[in-house]
Amino acid sequence: MSAICAVNKHYGDNIQFNRFDVHTRSIDFTLRVKSSRGTGAKISSSGRRSVAACWHAHRDFMRELFEISPSAVLTSMHAKYNGLEGFNQSYLATADINVGSQALPVSFAQACGCGC
Q: How confident is the model at residue 102 (pLDDT cuts 50, 70, 90)?
A: confident
Q: Which of 90, 95, 66 is nearest to 80 (CA)?
A: 90
Q: Parallel, antiparallel, or unpaired: how do β-strands 41-43 and 49-53 relate?
A: antiparallel
First and final C-alpha spacing in the chain: 23
In this predicted model, what pLDDT tens digit does every residue of 21-58 receive, in sequence order?
888 888 889 999 999 999 999 998 888 899 999 999 99
DSSP H/E element including 65 = helix 55-68
